[in-house]
C-alpha cells in the first residue's frame, strides 16, 4: 500500500487525513460517486485525536448550526447499520448538561432553541436528577438539561467504518503517506505533494486536525488553530457505583464524564496546556494531573474517590479562537478546503460534517445544514461566531 509505485498520480479529490472527518468526507463523497477519491494519512486511520476521543454524543450546543449538525449525526449513529453497513458502537446512556448556577436562564433558552430544532431534551429539577443518578451530589443544582437519546461512541470505530465503506465504494486509501506541501498556483489548488510523489487534483480537503495550521501556512494562509494537550482518566467503578449511567458535562466542576461499558467510568477535563506539538506530546498521562481532575469530578460523583484508575488517555485538541470548527474554501486558493479546528468537540458531529463537506465540494454549499458561519475567512474578517446565549465555557 505504501509502495511508491502503487501511488496514483491523479485524483478528482484528495482528502488529507483519515480521522473521523476525512473518513466521513470520503464516505459521503464516495456514496455520491464523486469520482476518483484518494484519502492519504501520514500514519494510519484513527491515529490522531479520533482514536483517543472520549466520544461523548450530545446535542447541547448554544449555536444552532452545531445543534443541527449534532442532530443529523445522532440519526446516523442510531442507524449505523443502514447507513454504513456495520453494527456501530453507539451506546445510548442519556446526557445531562449542568451549567453554572448564574447561567440557568441561558440553559433554559438554549433548551428552548434545541427543542425547536427537534432535539429530544427537557429541563429537569434537582430531585429528578437525583432520582435518575443517585450517585451524583447535586445539592446546588437548580436545573439541568437532560437528553435521553444521547450517549457515546467510539472514534477509531467510526473512522474505520467510514473509511472501509468508502473503499468498498471505490475510494483509495494510502496510509503512511504524509502530505508535505499543497500545490497552489495562480489562485487554484493543483494537487498535493507527498513523500511518495505528487497527486494532481482540482479539489483537496485538509482534514488534518492539529497539523492543519502549518500545512496550510506553507501554502500561504494562516489559520488561527492552537493545539491544546488533554488527559482523560478511565476508572474502574467503585463498589456499589451505578453501572452505565448518564454522560455529563458539568461547568461547576469543569469536568465531563460518562460510564464506559458497565464496569468503568471516564473522566475528562475542560482545559489543558496550550502550544503542544501533536507529533511529540506525552503518551503517558501524568498521575498528578489525573488525580486533580478526578478530585474535581468527585465533588459531583463522590464514589469516584474510591475508584481505581485503570489508565490514562492523552490527546491534543485543535482549538480555534471561537472554539468552533473551520469549514470551507481557503480565500484565494480555489479548490482547497479545510475541515479542522474542532476544538475538542468534533467526534459527535463527524457523520454530518462529512455530509455537509461533500455538499460544499459538489454543490457549492452545505445543503443539509448551513455551514457558512464556519468559513475560514471569519477570523480575518473579525466575524467570530458568538451564540446568542453562549456559556462562559462554551
Ligand atoms: C482526549 C480527547 C477527548 C475528546 N473527547 C471528545 C468527546 O467526548 N466528544 C467529541 O465530540 N469530541 C471529542 N474530542 C474531539 C474529537 O475527537 C476530534 O474533534 C475529532 O476526532 C477530530 O477528528 P479529525 O479527523 O479532524 O482529526 P484527527 O483524528 O486528528 O485526524 C487527523 C489525521 O490527519 C493526519 N494528518 C495530519 N497531517 C497530515 C499530513 N501532512 N499528511 C497526511 N496526513 C496527515 C493524521 O495522521 C490524522 O490521522 C476529543 C479529543 C481528544 C483528544
If you measure from the C-alpha of residue 58 to the centroid of ligand 1, how many angstroms do you get, rounded to a whole number? 18
Q: Is the pLDDT of residue 113 over 60?
A: yes
In 138-187, which ranges are E strands? Answer: 143-147, 151-152, 172-174, 179-185
Give 139's DSSP letter: T
If you measure from the C-alpha of residue 320 to the centroid of ligand 1, how many angstroms do you get, rounded to a whole number? 14
Q: What are phi and psi of 4, to 5 degrees?
A: -55, -35
Q: How confident is the model at residue 93 (pLDDT cuts 50, 70, 90)?
A: very high
Question: CA 152 from chain center: how many Å?
Answer: 12
Cβ–ligand 1 contact at 345 (below 6 Å)? yes
Separation CA 264–CA 239 (nearest Å): 11
If you measure from the C-alpha of residue 137 to the centroid of ligand 1, how many angstroms do you get, rounded to a whole number? 33
Separation CA 259–CA 291 (nearest Å): 18
Cβ–ligand 1 contact at 27 (below 6 Å)? no
Instruction: Give me the residues paired with residue 183 across strands.
Output: 191
Separation CA 9–CA 196 (nearest Å): 10
Fold for domain 92-151+226-319? D-Amino Acid Oxidase; Chain A, domain 2 (3.30.9)
Query: Does residue 294 sit in helix, strand or coil?
Result: helix
**What count of other Cβ atoms lies within 10 Å of the Cβ of residue 329?**
20
Domain spans of the chain? 4-51+156-225+322-378, 92-151+226-319
pTM (2 d.p.)? 0.98
Cβ–ligand 1 contact at 278 (below 6 Å)? no
pLDDT at position 7 is 86
pLDDT digits (tens, 9 = 90+) for 208-240: 999 999 999 999 999 999 999 999 999 999 999
Cβ–ligand 1 contact at 54 (below 6 Å)? yes
Mapping DSSP onto H, E and C, the string for 332-390 reads CCECEEEEECCCCCCHHHHHHHHHHHHHHHHHCCCCCCCCHHHCHHHCCCCCCCCCCCC
pLDDT digits (tens, 9 = 90+) for 182-213: 999 999 999 999 999 999 999 999 999 999 99
Which residues contact residue 238 at a Cβ distance below 8 angstroms, ignoring those fewer than 6 apart?
Answer: 303, 304, 305, 306, 307, 308
Among residues 253, 34, 45, the alpha carbon closest in space to that of 140 is found at: 253
The answer to whether 204 and 334 are in contact (CB under 8 A) is: no
pLDDT digits (tens, 9 = 90+) for 160-172: 999 999 999 999 9
Q: What are phi and psi of 141, to 5 degrees?
A: -80, 125
CA geometry: angle 231, 179, 374, nearest 5 deg:
60
pLDDT at position 3 is 42
pLDDT at position 394 is 85
Cβ–ligand 1 contact at 312 (below 6 Å)? no
Instruction: Report the number of secondary-structure helices (H) and strands (E) in the chain.
Output: 9, 20
From the CA of 347, give the closest atom in ligand 1: 11
For the domain 4-51+156-225+322-378, what is the CATH code?
3.50.50.60
Candidate of 180, 231, 344, 354 to mutate for ligand 1, largest count of ligand atoms within 8 Å of Cβ:
344
DSSP per-residue codes, 32-79: TT-S-EEEE-SS-TTTTGGGG---EE----SSHHHHHHHHHHHHHHHT
pLDDT averaged over every residue in the chain:
96
If you measure from the C-alpha of residue 343 to the centroid of ligand 1, how many angstroms do you get, rounded to a whole number? 10
Burial 54-89 (b: 16+ CB within 10 A, else e): bbbbbbbbbbbbbbbbbbbbbebbbebeebbeeebb
Which residues contact residue 353 at a Cβ distance below 8 angstroms, ignoring those fewer than 6 apart?
Answer: 21, 24, 25, 69, 73, 325, 327, 339, 346
Separation CA 141–CA 367 (nearest Å): 39
- Among protein residues, the one with the nearest Cα to ligand 1's atom 2 is 53
From the CA of 342, give the closest atom in ligand 1: 19
Amino acid at each position: 500500500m505504501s509502495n511508491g509505485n502503487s501511488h496514483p498520480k491523479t485524483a478528482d479529490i484528495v482528502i488529507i487525513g483519515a480521522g473521523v472527518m476525512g473518513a466521513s468526507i470520503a464516505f459521503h463523497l464516495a456514496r455520491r460517486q464523486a469520482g476518483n477519491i484518494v484519502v492519504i494519512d501520514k500514519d494510519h486511520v484513527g491515529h490522531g485525536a479520533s482514536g483517543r476521543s472520549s466520544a461523548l454524543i450530545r446535542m447541547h450546543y448554544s449555536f444552532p448550526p452545531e445543534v443541527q449538525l449534532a442532530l443529523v449525526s445522532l440519526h446516523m449513529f442510531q442507524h449505523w447499520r443502514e447507513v454504513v453497513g456495520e453494527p456501530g458502537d453507539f451506546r445510548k446512556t442519556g446526557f445531562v448538561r449542568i451549567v453554572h448556577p448564574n447561567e440557568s436562564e441561558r440553559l433554559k433558552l438554549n433548551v428552548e432553541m434545541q427543542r425547536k430544532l427537534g432535539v429530544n431534551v427537557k429541563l429537569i429539577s434537582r430531585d429528578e436528577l437525583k432520582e435518575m443518578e443517585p450517585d451524583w451530589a447535586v445539592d446546588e443544582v437548580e436545573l439541568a438539561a437532560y437528553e435521553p437519546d444521547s450517549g457515546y461512541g467510539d472514534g477509531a470505530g467510526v473512522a474505520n467504518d467510514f473509511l472501509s465503506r468508502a473503499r468498498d465504494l471505490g475510494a483509495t486509501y494510502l496510509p503512511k503517506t504524509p502530505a508535505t506541501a499543497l500545490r497552489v498556483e495562480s489562485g487554484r489548488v493543483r494537487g498535493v505533494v507527498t513523500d511518495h510523489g505528487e497527486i494532481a487534483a482540482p479539489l483537496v480537503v485538509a482534514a488534518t486536525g492539529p497539523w492543519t495550521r502549518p500545512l496550510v501556512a506553507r501554502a500561504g494562509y494562516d489559520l488561527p488553530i492552537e493545539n491544546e494537550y488533554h488527559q482523560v482518566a478511565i476508572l474502574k467503578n467503585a463498589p456499589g457505583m451505578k453501572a452505565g449511567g448518564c454522560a455529563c458535562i458539568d461547568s461547576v466542576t469543569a469536568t465531563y464524564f460518562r460510564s464506559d461499558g458497565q464496569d468503568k467510568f471516564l473522566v475528562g477535563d475542560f482545559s489543558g496546556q496550550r502550544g503542544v506539538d501533536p507529533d511529540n506530546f506525552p503518551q503517558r498521562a501524568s498521575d498528578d494531573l489525573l488525580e486533580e481532575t478526578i478530585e474535581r469530578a468527585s465533588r459531583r460523583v463522590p464514589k469516584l474517590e474510591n475508584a481505581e484508575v485503570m489508565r490514562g488517555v492523552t490527546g491534543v485538541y485543535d482549538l480555534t479562537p471561537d472554539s468552533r470548527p473551520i469549514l470551507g474554501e481557503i480565500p484565494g486558493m480555489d479548490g482547497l478546503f479545510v475541515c479542522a479546528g474542532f476544538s475538542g468537540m468534533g467526534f459527535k458531529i463527524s457523520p454530518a460534517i462529512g455530509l455537509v463537506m461533500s455538499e460544499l465540494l459538489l454543490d457549492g454549499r452545505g445543503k443539509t445544514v448551513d455551514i457558512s458561519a464556519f468559513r475560514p475567512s471569519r477570523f480575518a474578517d473579525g466575524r467570530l461566531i458568538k451564540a446568542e446565549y453562549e456559556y462562559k465555557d462554551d
